[in-house]
Amino acid sequence: MDVLTPSEIDKAHERIVSLIIKTPLISNETINKKVNANVYFKLENLQRTGSFKIRGASNKISQLSNEEKSRGVVAYSSGNHAQAVAYVSNIYNIKSTIVIPRNAPSIKIENTKKYGANIVMYDVRHDNREKITSEIASKENKTIIKPYDDLDIIAGQGTVGKEIAEELQANNIKPDIYLCCCGGGGLIAGSSTYLKHVFPNIKNFAVEPEDFNDTQLSLKYNSIITNKESAKSICDALLAPYPGNMTFSINQSTLSGGLSVSDNEVKKTIIELAENIKIVAEPGGAVAATALLTNKINVKNKNVIVMISGGNIDYEFFSSIVKENQ
């Protein structure tokens, strides 16, 4: 596969349908009234392993040869891709090694261990995760399962766009705007490809933490921009240093632009989602909803799709956010 097409996403869905959940697409009257729009939240926080990442991991791993499966896989991740790769590898009886930062949320580390992976910790300030992963792959002859810059991964993530499109079509709804959380760009590259195919007039927007808005800036300057090394954010799932080459190439053709939100805005949104929709979203999973609720874009009288991409948040951190906002 040299380019991503809707048909490749259809094929990916056929491969992984038994491994994933068709997550709800819901609307909420309180939020609709607040923003004066018809908003539809795609709840990938309710997906197996707690995020959309299982879609891409399933599509990639399911296509490995028996020989590749016997040698095992290795991946680097801040936590959600880690859990997905470990979970799917366990289903296929594949040995997995995950390179994960020491400061990743404990819930993500513990779940990755629970799914049977061998964990290799690294220091985000001093170590290069790609280098560590490449060394393990070379030494142990393992296949690298990249988190986003791989067309099979992107096609797998694109299956969430297929689900959204089919449900909207079934209800005769034409979306105007799609807001999607963005780190390396795989989720929005895949899902926006499918949505743009079905709804050519839709405007797709990547949403990022304000100090990790590399896709927003890259789209603006038509060239890949790297985040500052000193940048920090609570959105641990979205801290890719720069867009992927493949993801950025796709996003240049499918996106209308990028938006960014602050950590404090994200915290308030996590509480608002819990209060109104009764869901738990992790910081990275809540950025698209944050852009909506803080008026980063005009949505008046529009049909808006909002991605909730994950819900893997440490309980202690969630409690601290609740206390801050009481």
**What one-character DSSP code corresponds to residue 312?**
-
Q: What contacts 229, CB < 8 A, 6 or more positions away?
A: none
End-to-end CA distance of the chain: 51
Contact of 47 with 187, CB cutoff 8 Å: no
Token pair listed for 287: 């950025």
Alpha helices in the chain (DSSP H): 6-16, 29-35, 53-61, 66-71, 80-91, 106-114, 129-140, 151-170, 186-198, 214-221, 245-254, 263-276, 287-293, 315-324
Token pair listed for 99: 């390179």
268 in catalytic set: no
Q: Which residue out of 51, 58, 77, 78 is catalytically annotated?
A: 78
Q: In what order do the strands lie in the sheet with 73-76?
A: 118-122, 96-101, 73-76, 143-144
53 in catalytic set: yes
Q: Which residue out of 42, 51, 53, 296 is catalytically annotated?
A: 53
Contact of 94 with 116, CB cutoff 8 Å: no
Q: Is 122 buried (19+), middle (13-18) or exposed (0-12) by CB count in 10 A? A: middle
Q: Is the dihedral of CA 56, 59, 61, 63 positive or negative?
A: negative
Residues noted as catalytic: 53, 78
